[in-house]
Amino acid sequence: MRVTKQKLHQLIRTKLSLAGLSPSHADVVADVLVHADVRGVHSHGAMRVEYYAERIAKGGTNVNPQFTFEKTGPCSAVFDGDNGAGHVAAKQAMEHAVNMAKENGIAIVGVRRIGHSGSLSYYVQQAAREGLIGISVCQSDPMVVPFGGAEAYYGTNPIAFAAPGEGSALITFDMATTVQAWGKILHARSKHEAIPDTWAVDEHGVRTNDPFKVHALLPIAGPKGYGLMMMVDILSGVLLGLPFGNRVSSMYHDLTEGRNLGQLHIVLDPSFFTDLETFRRNISQTMQDLNGIKPAPGFEQVLYPGQNYDRIEQENEANGIEIVDEIYDYLTSDVIHHHKYDHKDPFAT
């Protein structure tokens, strides 16, 4: 099923509002989810709506949060999300970070006590569209075996980066510190498709290509990914006085309770370090240089990071976004949720 970006936004906004989220907050969450779907990152798009709706309806997302923003230094601050919708808190925190960076050259804003905030590329692009460099990291619930281990400890703990080129050009990088994000497993389940056996392991620690047998994910590049997810957990959990490691709350354990997750935004104003026009020109030159590198056998072109998603976004803007029929049927139904997620094992089928 293909739908326009505007139609998908309206369907998501309506469903989340029916679940109990305020229209203004539902609008922001819909923005972030559609941002993911239009870029082809369906693991962080409309497929998440029913889970959000169930958590909202059961009280695990605070629909009337009292957000607070406290500056702790010229370039540092803490934004408390009061366990409201993570997307709304993360967006507002980035707005504060952008303003602080424009004033002082750099801003580091910790975002405390939030729910799942979706695709991090949305927030770093907020900064890049203002002519700034954006970096964001966030913790997630334990579902990854550390290198050499047989039990999950860290989450997929993503990292995102964006910088502005000339005009409206942006270079964006958004990755989980696992070989693939958990949402990719969910997307494969929704389409009943096999996964590469390099993504995850079953309950015995053996690699599997069956998304329904996944018991834990694998870190990217072994010990290197393991180190990165540790770094993210410290920056977005330990640093903010929040639960960390395998103490981070499960996405599905109790949908009546807030998740108390953490996220960290870092924003840099290039004009405090170099000439801004030169910086933006050199970012665009970097993108052109990478495209111009001789491709290896089997490749048509070297793409700069995020370029494949930029191309998908252009295609989907023109032709509509492909949505799994089951998800579309849910979005257009009168059902708020089907009680599918509460107190479930995160790896349950």
Q: Are 141 and 248 in contact (CB under 8 A)?
A: yes
Spatial distance between the Cα atoms of 278 and 282, rounded to a whole number of angstroms: 6
Per the listing, tokens 């695709």 go with 119
Q: Are 263 and 236 in contact (CB under 8 A)?
A: yes
DSSP code string of 87-111: HHHHHHHHHHHHHHHHHHSEEEEEE
Question: Is residue 87 among the annotated active site residues?
Answer: no
Q: Are 88 and 111 in contact (CB under 8 A)?
A: no
Spatial distance between the Cα atoms of 194 and 298, rounded to a whole number of angstroms: 23
Q: ∠157-161-162 over CA atoms, to 5°?
A: 150
Q: In this structure, what token pair is assigned to residue 132?
A: 């700034």
Beta strands in 213-289 (DSSP E): 216-217, 261-268
Q: In this structure, what token pair is assigned to residue 88?
A: 């709304």
Q: Are 106 and 268 in contact (CB under 8 A)?
A: yes
Q: Which of 116, 187, 215, 265 is catalytic?
A: 116
Catalytic amino acids? 116
